[in-house]
Amino acid sequence: MNKIWTIGALLQWTQQYFAGKGIDSPRLDAEILLAHVLHKERIYLYAHYDEPLNGEELAAYRAMVKKRADRLSVAHILGTKAFMGLDFKVSEDVLIPRPETEMLVETVVTAAEGTAPVIIDIGTGSGAIVLSLLHYLPQATGTGVDISTKALAIATGNGRSLGLDDRVTWIESDLFTQVPPGTCDWLVSNPPYLTQGDMEQLQPEVRHDPALALYGGDDGLDFYRRIAADSPAYVKVGGHCAVEIGAGQADDVTAIFCTGGAYEHDQTVKDYGGIDRVLVFSRKG
């Protein structure tokens, strides 16, 4: 006799299975995957514990469970990731947007509210940062810059699906090399900032993100040096540069930006774990 798998039984089994594989949030991941297969909200699962799955649904769910057990992230499996209340398409060609990066967006939105800022996002990836800024700052215009053609294809699709493609420009460029002259009010970036040691200790899920979007050189600071050196030509006097940083990098990155004389340190924002996560600099005259 084939066992009849109900929603409740499946969730319970999957939770134990994922926990045994060392997955951090076994119950949540099981619920998200099952809700996706059933085309329902997660709340639906709780009201329908006794509902059985049909063979097609079961097969689709099992395939996803296997991928998750192999430590592919839920975002990679589903091909989408929620960020700042918006849905972004993602793939293995872009960094999966992280919750801590929302601090960068929130900081800029708070500071620029009510204005019509021109924004440049260096290393845009999926476009999550610049597109979220354009969504929450309705008078803003932006440019997303990335070295990866495949990343820009994802970003372009996200801009279109969010209805923001008339306010954003995409440029394929190694940082500023192909960015035409002109100035912005806000330069934003979540650059690669992992050290060689960090790269060797990555969680299995993060190994599916492009190394290009993670590795910041031996000390993790290579991209901050380049951004600090080249960005003053693109940030207007009185404008700002806001960057995400890794744990323990605040002093080094502040020194990198402030020693050249073009910037002064404005603000340090901590993430929900109490770690310095976002640095804001203003462009001096």
Sequence ranges of the binding site: 123-127, 146, 190-193
256 touches 262 (CB < 8 A): no
Query: What would you report as the CA-atom Rg of the chain, rounded to the nearest whole angstrom?
Result: 21
Q: In 183-227, at which residue ranges do the beta strands (DSSP E only) sit? A: 184-189
Q: Which two tokens stand for residue 169?
A: 């420009």
What residues form the annotated binding site for substrate?
190-193
- 126's tokens: 């999926």
Tokens of 211: 């190394």
The two structure tokens encoding residue 222: 């290579």
- Label the pairing between strands 168-172 and 235-244: unpaired
Give the residue numbers of the binding site for S-adenosyl-L-methionine. 123-127, 146, 190
Give the C-alpha separation, 4 to 217, whole Å: 52
